[in-house]
Structures are given as C-alpha cells and as structure tokens.
Amino acid sequence: MQRGPGSTARETFDYVIVGAGTSGCVVTNRLSEDGASVCLLEAGPRDTNPFIHIPAGYIRNVFSKTLTWNFESTPSPHTKNRRFPLPQGRVLGGSSSINGLNYVRGQRSDYDGWAQKGNPGWSYRDVLPYFKRSETRLGKGDDRVRGRTGELPISDLDWRHPICDAFIAGTSSLGIPENPDYNSGDQAGSGFFQRTIRNGYRWSAAKAFLRPAEKRPNVSVRTEAQASAILFEGRRAVGVRYVAGGPGGTVKEVYANREVVLTAGALNTPKLMQISGVGPADVLQALGVTPVHVLPGVGNNLRDHFCVRMVVRLQGIKTINNLVQGPPLLLQIAKWAVGLPSPLAISPSLVHVFWKSDPAFDIPDLEYVFTPASFRAGVVGLLDKFPGMTLGVWQERPESLGYVKAVSANPFNKPEIMPNYLASEIDQRALLNAIKLGSRMLATEPLKPYIHSQIAPGPEVRSDAEIMDWARSTGITVYHMTGTCRMAPEQDPQSVVDSALRVRGLQGLRVADASIMPSMPSANTNAATLMIAEKASDLIRGRKLEPIDA
C-alpha cells in the first residue's frame, strides 16, 4: 500500500459513511438532502453488472466472487463442524443488490421487545413511521401502516403458478389462515411475498436512495475504497483511513466535521472497529493494535437464520425448472424484455407462511418460504431437470449466539466468523417441529395429485434423531447476520451502542446497520435495516417523526 500525495489540507466533509449497502445508501441520501456534505466509502464496485438488476440474477450473484465478500464461517460445532458460505454484498447497494428481494418487516412484538429491553424510542409505534417513509407500496394495504410516497417500491407478485395456489389451499386446510398483508404488524398466515421489484427490475437501496443523492454536489461516493481504520483524536472519531484501488492501492484519509457513521454490515462493522482499536481486550491484544477503547460487546451476539429446505418431485405439471432451462428460457427472456410477467422477474421464494412451532405460542416463530422450483442436490443455481417444489423454513428469533472477530490488522484479511447455529436447545426444538409441520404442508389434499416423491428429507428420515441429523447435515444460512454491535442499555456489559446508536465511550461515532439489532426481527433483515437507517438519519440530525398508533 502506498501513501497518497502529501498535503497540508485535510479533505473534510460533514459526515463520512463507511459502507454503501442498504443503510449507507439511505443515510447518505437523508443526511445530504439538507445540504450537509457527505463522503460515502464502498469497498466494492459500482452496480453496473446487468445481472444485479434482473431479479432472476439472484441465483448468479449471491455467490459472485466480485459482488460479495466471499466470507466463510469457521466450523460450526452443532452442525457437524461444517463451514458455511456467508454471502454479503460488496457493491453499491450491498446485500440489497444481491438478496432475494422479499420485503418483510417483522412483527409488532419484535420492536416492542427492543424497547422493553431498555432501548427507548424503538417500539413498534416509534419505528412504524420510518418503515412508512422509505416505501412506496404499489399494492393494497392500510395507509395507516403502509407508505405511498417513499423511494423504495414494494410490489406484489405479477407471475403466478398453480402449484402456489394449491400449496396455500393446503395450508388453509391445516388451519393456517391467509393473510392479505403480512407487513401490517400481524404476520400470521400465508400468502404471496411482497418484493423490491418494479416493472420487472430489482430496486436496490442504491437505485432507490443513492442515485438521487449522487446528483447532489455535496455528495462524494467512492467505490473500490476499502476502509482500513477509523481515525481518532483521543476518544473522538474524526475520520477514516482507506485504501483506494484494492490491495497495494493508495492509502488515503478523509475527515468528518460532525460524525463518522458505520454502515458496513454485521460482519464488517465490528471488524473495522476492532482493527481500529475498539473492541474486546483479548481481540485487540491478539491483533497487536493500540486500544482506543475496550468495548467487550464488539463482534459478539451474532445471530443468523438457519434454514432447511424440503424438496418434492412433481408430476403432471411444469414448474420453473422446466420453464427457464433450454429453449423455453428464450420465451421467458422475450416476455421479460417486453414487460410481460415472467419467472425472470420474481423473487426466489413466492409464497410465505408465518406460523408457530408450538400451538401454545401467541405469535409465529417460524418463516416458511415456498417456490415452484427445486435445485439439484440442494445447490443454488442448478435447477433440477424434473418438475419440483421447495419449502424452506427457519426459526425467526434464534437464541444461538455466535461471534465475528478480526484475525489480522490487515483490512483485506477476512474475519473469523462463528455462527454457532443450533447451539440452543430452544432452536433445535423449534426447527424439529418446523420440519414436521412442513412435511404436513407438503402432503395436503390440494397438492397430492401433483406429488411424485419426496426428495429431501428422503423416506429413510423418520425419527426425531434422523430429522435433526438431516437438518444439521443439509441446513444453510439465509444470509441474515445481525447483532454484533448490539444496542442495549448502559448496564448491559455487551452493549456497544446506546438508543441513539452512539458508540459507548466514544464521541463522533455511530453505527447504523443490522449489527445494532438487540434481537432478530421475525423477518428477512433488509426491511428492518432500511428502518434503522431512516431512524439513524433523524437521530443524527436531531429530528423525530411522530409515533403512529396503528
């Protein structure tokens, strides 16, 4: 790495933001709309790859070597010491440029729970206006809880498949009601997913929030800019050092008159803090960095959703497997190109079921995702040659805790990531019950005419022990890492940020991404991350939207 040309003048902005993912794009837009100067640093490239913008490109992009960080976990002891790929977006838009496009807010109780844990201002009534502000709901919905004028379009499915309707009818026969809007605060039931898609194209946070902001003269967006250290004067964050152009590139510094805001995500935000001298004492000592502030919670409390996928081979019907392989794919491309409904413009999962692993529970703790497609041997990207359907499921609010820690002060080295899936007996029990219920969903009368055979788990998997062995052997992440810079009251020894998202014990430094979540929302994490970024922007500016009772 080479130092940039010397200069007596600091390059200074009002705010320096690290990470142009979902949060970074939103915060850049909001902080710059009043004229404040903002510098946004992104380690990855611009989002010019055309497969980013085609929804079906998800299958290609989620494991892309150029659009993700290529993270991999350490062996996870409760899942047969398997290593898990942990995709996180490394491109403008971050994971909103490579994710599965489904928009899921979670439940009212998720956010009331955050407030009850000692985080004032984060109850459902407090955060609802921020959910509303970011979205333009393009379908039906109660305007008390849904936004109509935001930057991000939230659309309904425009391509339907009869096996989806049969699946929903089957879940109804099990006593699970249909839910017309699972993003209303009450998610229990089944229905079709809402997506961040408009007119057949993905709408990432970069497209929705950063494009308008980049047109402002007070915004500077720098790609291929790897943050290497937060710069401190005493205990005040004053800027960021970064490397332009990748390993061996030029070392540069940019300074903030007001604040440095970390929006690098649940894996990279704690890593950057640690290599900058903020984190657990033992981690800082092992890195050989000079401590700025010992903060034990940095990198701890990692939570993620662990998903298993049940696969059924079908008969007498064509599924996505048959429609997007070989010559039929050409027809679907033509339909997509002229704006007609096509499986190229859908999210990977079409149908949701939010339900309970125990009938005694008051609210759902499971999320099921259904699609009329199946992947060869469970490998994402390789569709089976025969017609198939897949039902995935995960426990929404896992108790198992992992960690992330830097293993080198070199910013280009990957951190050690331990997801620790299924460490909690609560998680194990919930997943076992989820698989049993899922098997019932796949065997209902409306589906029976189409079923050829169950592929996974196979017929040899019967006992509870065999089911859990299969789950440990085949389960995967759904890329929802959270919690590594946890928001909590001061008396919590694992607290990293306060309820205003200020890093405890330091000045001029905030965190505004999924790492601050006190617990996982009952949801895919993109919607909640958007909300956090919206609220963070107002906290930084000293503003507040009025709570909504709905």
14 three-state secondary structure = strand
Q: Determine if residue 22 is labeled as part of a ligand binding site.
A: yes
The answer to whether residues 315 and 299 touch, using CB atoms and an 8 Å cutoff, is: no
Q: Give the Cα separation of 427 and 423 in Å (integer).
A: 7
Helical segments of 324-423, H only: 327-337
Q: 3-state secondary structure string, 396-414?
A: CCCCCCEEEECCCCCCCCC
Q: Give the Cα separation of 494 and 183 in Å (integer).
A: 31
Distance of CA 106 to the CA centre of its chain: 13
DSSP 68: B
Residue from 161, 293, 352, 480 carrying the catalytic annotation: 480
C-alpha dist (Å) from residue 343 to 52, 55, 104: 16, 9, 21
Which stretch of DSSP H or E encloses residue 239? strand 236-244
Q: Which stretches of 280-425 are assigned E, i.e. beta strand?
A: 293-294, 300-302, 306-314, 351-355, 366-371, 388-395, 402-405, 416-418
User: Cβ-count burial of 2 within 10 angstroms (0-12 exposed, 13-18 middle, 19+ buried)?
Assistant: exposed
Polymer length of the chain = 550
Q: Give the Cα separation of 536 and 24 in Å (integer).
A: 11
Please say if 480 is a catalytic residue. yes
For residue 8, give every residue at least 6 positions away whose Cβ sits within 8 Å of its Cβ, in sequence order, or none: none
Q: What is the DSSP string of 421-437?
A: TT-SHHHHHHHHHHHHH
Tokens 């915004």 locate to 219
DSSP 75: P
Tokens 């200020």 locate to 502
Name the pairing type of β-strands 194-195 and 250-262.
Answer: unpaired
At 306, the amino acid letter reads F
Q: Determine if residue 104 is labeled as part of a ligand binding site.
A: no
The answer to whether residues 524 and 104 touch, using CB atoms and an 8 Å cutoff, is: yes
Q: Give the Cα separation of 458 and 444 in Å (integer).
A: 18
The answer to whether residues 318 and 382 touch, using CB atoms and an 8 Å cutoff, is: no
DSSP 541: H
For residue 302, give every residue at least 6 positions away whose Cβ sits within 8 Å of its Cβ, in sequence order, or none: 266, 401, 402, 403, 404, 417, 418, 419, 420, 481, 482, 483, 484
144 three-state secondary structure = coil
**Rg for the chain, CA atoms, rounded:** 23
- Closest by CA to 156, choosing from 101, 183, 194, is 194
Quick count: other Cβ atoms within 10 Å of Cβ 248? Answer: 9
Q: Determine if residue 353 is labeled as part of a ligand binding site.
A: no
Catalytic positions are 480
Per the annotation, binding residues for FAD are: 22-23, 91
Per the annotation, binding residues are: 22-23, 91
